[in-house]
């Protein structure tokens, strides 16, 4: 869907911000050159996959991993491939790879296959609907190894699906959570909850920051001309509710990856991991 809108955005020459676009190629043309007017906020696929592999190796002392990937979803595959490559580059072994499709609800076959393996961590890139069911079923089967994932699981709905008591030793690379101590985050959460009747998730927060980052760029440029705004975006540093943002040469927001640790459905620790 994001890539469907991109040709029109490129042709318009108007600065375009993708709050949750994660594909590594989003800001690049077919030759690998940076597109002048395309920017993103969310971490790229490779950034999150690399960060998870490094965290598993350095913080969890993992040497053997398994992956559970949604083969019908570009996001899940996009995170899974760099995780595998980086984990193996760091000396680890991916002993099994299991696959499912979006909309699946029964994961007993996948999990039974994993029970026959010896491993230290599970990498589960995907979204909270299936992710929540996988976590619940895994824990109910006695699979207690740490589970790592990307920001697609960072939603309170995950807790509703999996059950808070099943969300232990879960680690997510996410720029936002409802317990965040980032400046302005709690005020934003309170206002969002009052207006919409539910707490914001990562995607809400990134969209909010994207809009305000553009407003800040317009103010910094002191102009509403597209080229002036584009130049302002390239040099801007902005403190949002999901973190502090500035852009690298690929028009991706430079930010260390916060790795959120969940115990009993709550974030108990936040680590920072390099993903570049």
206 near 20, Cβ under 8 Å? yes
| Mean pLDDT on 66-70 | 98
User: Are residue 121 and residue 231 in the same domain, yes or no?
Assistant: no
pLDDT digits (tens, 9 = 90+) for 131-185: 999 999 999 999 999 999 998 998 889 999 999 999 999 999 988 888 888 889 9
Q: What is the pLDDT of residue 1?
A: 56
Count up the domains in the chain and report the number: 2
Task: Answer yes or no: is 253 within a domain.
Answer: no
Q: Which of 107, 113, 115 is nearest to 131 (CA)?
A: 107
pLDDT digits (tens, 9 = 90+) for 3-39: 778 888 888 889 999 998 888 899 999 899 999 999 9
pLDDT digits (tens, 9 = 90+) for 226-266: 999 999 999 999 999 998 888 999 999 877 778 999 999 99
Query: Considering 155, 174, 193, which residue would you say is the last residue of a domain?
Result: 174
237/48 Cα distance (integer angstroms): 22
Per DSSP, 66 falls in state E
- The CATH number that applies at residue 17 is 3.40.50.2300
Domain range enclosing 241:
2-43+183-246
> How many CA atoms, within 13 angstroms, populate the side-chain half-sphere of residue 232?
21
| Mean pLDDT on 91-98 | 98
User: Are residue 158 and residue 62 in the same domain, yes or no?
Assistant: yes
User: Are residue 141 and residue 108 in the same domain, yes or no?
Assistant: yes
User: Are residue 50 and residue 139 in the same domain, yes or no?
Assistant: yes
47/248 Cα distance (integer angstroms): 13
Task: Answer yes or no: is 275 within a domain.
Answer: no
Task: Answer yes or no: is 257 within a domain.
Answer: no
User: Are residue 65 and residue 168 in the same domain, yes or no?
Assistant: yes
Sign of dihedral through CA atoms 18, 21, 26, 27? positive
User: Are residue 51 and residue 17 in the same domain, yes or no?
Assistant: no
Higher pLDDT, 103 or 6: 103
B/e letters for 142-179, b = 16+ CB within 10 Å, e = fewer, are ebebbbbbbbbbbbebbbebbbeebbbbbbbbbbbbbe
Q: CB-based contacts of 135: which residues, under 8 Å, 6+ apart?
A: 124, 147, 158, 162, 166, 167, 170
């Amino acid at each position: 869907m994001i890539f469907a809108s991109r040709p029109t955005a490129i042709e318009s020459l108007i600065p375009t911000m993708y709050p949750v676009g994660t594909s590594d190629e989003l800001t690049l043309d077919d030759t690998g050159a940076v597109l002048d007017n395309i920017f993103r906020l969310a971490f790229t696929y490779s950034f999150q996959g690399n960060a998870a592999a490094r965290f598993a190796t350095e913080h969890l002392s993992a040497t053997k991993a398994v992956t559970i990937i949604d083969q019908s979803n570009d996001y899940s595959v996009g995170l899974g491939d760099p995780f595998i490559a980086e984990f193996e580059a760091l000396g680890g072994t991916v002993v099994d790879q299991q696959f499912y499709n979006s909309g699946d609800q029964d994961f007993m076959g996948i999990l039974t296959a994993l029970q026959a393996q010896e491993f230290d961590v599970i990498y589960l890139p995907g979204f909270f609907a299936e992710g929540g069911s996988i976590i619940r079923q895994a824990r109910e089967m006695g699979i207690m190894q740490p589970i790592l994932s990307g920001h697609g699981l960072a939603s309170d709905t995950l807790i509703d699906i999996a059950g808070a008591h099943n969300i232990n030793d879960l680690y997510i690379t996410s720029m936002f959570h409802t317990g965040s101590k980032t400046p302005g985050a709690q005020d934003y959460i309170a206002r969002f909850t009052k207006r919409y009747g539910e707490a914001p998730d990562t995607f809400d927060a990134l969209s909010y920051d994207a809009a305000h980052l553009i407003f800040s760029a317009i103010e910094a440029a002191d102009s509403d001309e597209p080229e002036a705004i584009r130049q302002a975006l390239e040099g801007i540093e902005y403190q949002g509710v999901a973190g502090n943002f500035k852009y690298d040469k690929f028009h991706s927001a430079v930010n260390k990856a916060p790795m959120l640790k969940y115990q009993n459905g709550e974030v108990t620790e936040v680590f920072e991991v390099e993903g570049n």
